[in-house]
C-alpha cells in the first residue's frame, strides 16, 4: 500500500501519440490550465534528476508561463495532509493514509509555485471536479476547455479529463507534461483518453495553439 518507487522512463514523443477521436482544437479564449497534484509527496516517488519528472517539471513551467502570458486561467490541485477517513474516502483502502501535512509532503514543488492570480483547489478524490468548485470557476471565467498536466497520468489526470468531458468541458492531456508509474501506464492512459473523451497533444502543439510558441 502507498506509492511505488518509479523507475525512469522516456516521455512519449509527438509522433508516438495516439490519434484522438475528438476533433477539438485549443482556443486560448476558451481554455484553462490545470496543474494536477504536483506536490512533493507525489513527485518524490520519481528519480528527481531523470525522466519523466525532470523534463515534466520544466515543460509544465513553460506551459504555465505561456498560459499566464495569454490570460489563460491557471488552476492547481493539492491534497491536504493528515486526512481522516471522511476526507480520504475509499482512496485509503487502495493507497493507505497518504501524505502528512509536513512541507516535504504537502507543498507544491517550489519550481511550480502558484503565482498571483492562480487558484489552488483542495483535492479530495481522483477527479479534480469532485468535491470542488472547479467547474463553477471555469464557467464564470467563460472557459469550456481544459489543459491537464501533472501526476499521475492514468489516475487523477485521466479521471479529471473524463469528468470534464461529462460536464461538456473539452479536455486536453498534455502528454509530455504528464508523468506516471511507468511508460506502459502513461501510454495506456493516453490511448484510453484519445479513444473515449480527450485529445492528447504534446507541449509544442499546445504552445502553438495557444499562441505561446
Q: β-pairing, 145-151 with 31-36?
A: parallel
Beta bridge partners of 200: 173
Which CATH number fits the domain 26-210, given the four candidates 3.40.50.280, 3.40.50.300, 3.40.50.850, 1.10.150.120?
3.40.50.850
What is the overall mean pLDDT for the chain? 92
Using CA atoms, how far residue 60 sits from 177, 178, 204, in Å, is 6, 9, 12
The pLDDT value recorded for residue 63 is 98
Q: What is the pLDDT of residue 85?
A: 67
37 is catalytic: yes
- pLDDT tens sequence across 177-207: 999 999 999 999 999 999 999 999 999 999 9
Give the CA count within 13 Å in the CB-facing half-sphere of 156.
Answer: 25
Q: What is the pLDDT of residues 48-85, one digit of tens each?
A: 999 999 999 999 999 999 999 999 999 999 986 556 76
The single residue of 10, 14, 15, 37 carrying the catalytic annotation is 37
Q: Among 13-22, 50-59, 90-99, 152-161, where is mean pLDDT lowest? A: 90-99
* pLDDT at residue 70, rounded to an integer: 97
CA angle at 107 for the pair 106 and 108, rounded to the nearest 5°: 120
Amino acid at each position: 500500500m502507498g506509492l511505488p518507487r518509479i523507475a525512469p522512463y522516456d516521455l512519449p514523443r509527438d509522433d508516438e501519440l495516439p490519434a484522438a477521436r475528438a476533433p477539438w482544437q485549443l482556443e486560448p479564449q476558451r481554455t484553462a490550465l490545470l496543474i494536477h497534484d504536483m506536490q512533493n509527496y507525489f513527485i518524490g516517488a520519481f528519480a528527481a534528476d531523470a525522466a519523466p519528472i525532470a523534463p515534466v517539471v520544466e515543460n509544465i513551467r513553460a506551459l504555465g508561463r505561456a498560459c499566464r502570458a495569454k490570460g489563460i486561467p491557471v488552476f492547481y490541485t493539492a491534497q491536504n495532509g493528515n486526512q481522516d477517513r471522511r476526507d480520504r474516502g475509499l482512496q485509503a483502502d487502495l493507497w493507505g493514509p497518504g501524505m502528512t501535512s509536513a512541507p516535504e509532503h504537502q507543498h507544491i514543488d517550489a519550481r511550480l509555485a502558484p503565482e498571483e492570480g492562480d487558484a489552488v483547489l483542495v483535492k479530495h478524490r481522483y477527479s479534480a471536479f469532485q468535491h470542488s468548485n472547479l467547474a463553477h470557476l471555469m464557467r464564470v471565467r467563460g472557459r469550456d476547455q481544459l489543459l491537464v498536466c501533472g501526476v499521475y497520468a492514468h489516475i487523477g489526470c485521466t479521471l479529471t479529463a473524463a469528468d470534464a468531458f461529462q460536464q461538456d468541458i473539452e479536455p486536453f492531456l498534455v502528454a509530455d507534461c504528464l508523468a506516471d508509474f511507468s511508460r506502459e501506464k502513461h501510454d495506456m492512459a493516453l490511448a484510453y483518453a484519445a479513444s473515449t473523451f480527450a485529445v492528447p497533444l504534446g507541449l509544442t502543439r499546445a504552445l502553438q495553439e495557444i499562441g505561446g510558441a
